[in-house]
């Protein structure tokens, strides 16, 4: 029986180990569907899911739409440049329009931190039977990306089960532009929540010292951390040292569009120090997998050769795992509104 208690998924700070297990188990079932002969399930037939991306997206939006279609839902999507937003309509009125059409799950992305949470709160105050799934807000959170990363890593460490426990005691290094990354912030909740220790690695300008205390206090609206014992977070400025002691690596895009000032003066120098290449991976004690949430700046945070080496780089697996993970999330949220 499901113990799922979340009406909305805004971030992962409120996820328990049971929540991670439930999402991963469901994603495993959905991933195995083609082997059972069924490519599509009738589970959400006649239910409306709206993808409202006020900020551009390639992977996340298509992946949610595909996931919804595989569950036989109706999908409405919205493109800011060809919508009433350019006539001055607010995101709230856009959302209310889709709710009035009968949408039961809204996947919302916005460039400003907090917008999906504010919209969810407003809809709750109005007693609307609709769930908000954060598709990425500002620097804050990107839960579905962190869950598909978790799924990819647990599958790597535990081929047969892919359970969250397979991360217990593992060390995962996250390298690069952590300051501007909502993916890294969500990864920190999920990885430490499943007992992995996380090494954050990057230059001071992209990785302030206080990130090491990231998971110490849950957000103010939450009473307590549902995870009894989280993995540790440490900061290591030396990539060589970090790699020497890691079981997997997540490298991040330099998010130039979010930098208010020029934080990286020389991209070649950045690549030399923090760019991931086959050569630098020789610093690792063993063969490790490399993940990247995409989109990628080739030759900056990762070399083109490594990006295309599927024996090490799991980017393609991350993209395909995104579909069963998002099927699981849509399925769980739609059930809340039944």
Interacting residue ranges for ligand ASP, rule: CB under 6 A: 136, 142, 182-183, 253, 255, 293-294
Cβ proximity to ligand ASP, 128 vs 253, nearer residue:
253
Cβ proximity to ligand ASP, 104 vs 149, nearer residue:
149
Cβ proximity to ligand ASP, 128 vs 182, nearer residue:
182
A 10 A CB-CB count for 90 gives: 10
Q: Which residue is nearest to ligand ASP (CB)?
A: 253
Cβ proximity to ligand ASP, 21 vs 256, nearer residue:
256
Cβ proximity to ligand ASP, 173 vs 186, nearer residue:
186
Q: How far is the CB of 60 from ligand ASP (least distance, A)?
A: 6
Q: How far is the CB of 194 from ligand ASP (least distance, A)?
A: 21
b/e sequence 2-41, b meaning 16+ C-beta within 10 Å: eebeeebbbbbbbbebebbebbbebbbebbeeeeeeeeee
Q: How far is the CB of 252 from ligand ASP (least distance, A)?
A: 6
Cβ proximity to ligand ASP, 225 vs 301, nearer residue:
301
Q: How far is the CB of 257 from ligand ASP (least distance, A)?
A: 9
Cβ proximity to ligand ASP, 70 vs 142, nearer residue:
142
Cβ proximity to ligand ASP, 150 vs 183, nearer residue:
183
CB 230 within 8 A of CB 192: yes
Q: How far is the CB of 295 from ligand ASP (least distance, A)?
A: 6
Q: How far is the CB of 136 from ligand ASP (least distance, A)?
A: 4
Q: What is the 3-state secondary structure (H, E, C) of 184-244?
A: HHHHHHHHHHCCCEEEEECCHHHCCHHHHHCCCCCCCCCCCCCCCCCCCEEECCCHHHHHC
Q: How far is the CB of 298 from ligand ASP (least distance, A)?
A: 13
Q: How far is the CB of 9 from ligand ASP (least distance, A)?
A: 15
């Amino acid at each position: 029986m499901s113990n799922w208690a979340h009406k909305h998924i805004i971030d992962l700070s409120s996820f328990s180990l049971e929540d991670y297990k439930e999402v991963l188990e469901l994603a495993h079932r959905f991933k195995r569907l083609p082997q059972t002969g069924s490519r599509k399930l009738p589970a959400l037939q006649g239910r409306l899911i709206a993808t409202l991306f006020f900020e551009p997206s390639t992977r996340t939006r298509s992946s949610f739409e595909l996931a919804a279609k595989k569950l036989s839902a109706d999908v409405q999507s919205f493109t800011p440049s060809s919508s009433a937003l350019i006539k001055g309509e607010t995101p709230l009125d856009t959302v209310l329009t889709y709710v009035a059409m009968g949408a039961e799950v809204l996947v919302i992305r916005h460039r400003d931190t907090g917008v999906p949470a504010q919209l969810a709160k407003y809809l709750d105050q109005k007693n609307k039977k609709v769930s908000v799934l954060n598709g990425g807000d500002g620097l804050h959170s990107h839960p579905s990306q962190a869950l598909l990363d978790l799924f990819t890593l647990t599958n790597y460490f535990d081929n047969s089960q892919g359970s969250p426990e397979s991360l217990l005691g593992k060390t995962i290094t996250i390298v690069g532009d952590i300051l501007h990354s909502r993916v890294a912030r969500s990864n920190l909740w999920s990885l430490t929540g499943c007992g992995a220790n996380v090494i954050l690695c990057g230059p001071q300008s992209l990785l302030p010292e206080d990130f090491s205390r990231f998971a110490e206090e849950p957000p103010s609206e939450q009473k307590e951390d549902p995870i009894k014992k989280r993995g540790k977070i440490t900061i290591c400025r030396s990539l060589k040292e970090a790699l020497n002691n890691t079981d997997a690596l997540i490298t991040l895009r330099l998010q130039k569009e979010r930098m208010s000032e020029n934080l990286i003066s020389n991209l070649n120098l950045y690549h030399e120090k923090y760019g991931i290449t086959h050569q630098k991976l020789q610093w690792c004690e063993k063969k490790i997998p490399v993940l990247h949430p995409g989109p990628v700046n080739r030759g900056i945070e990762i070399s083109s050769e490594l990006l295309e080496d599927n024996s090490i780089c799991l980017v393609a697996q991350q993209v395909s795992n995104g579909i069963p993970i998002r099927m699981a999330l849509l399925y769980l949220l739609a059930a809340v509104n039944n």
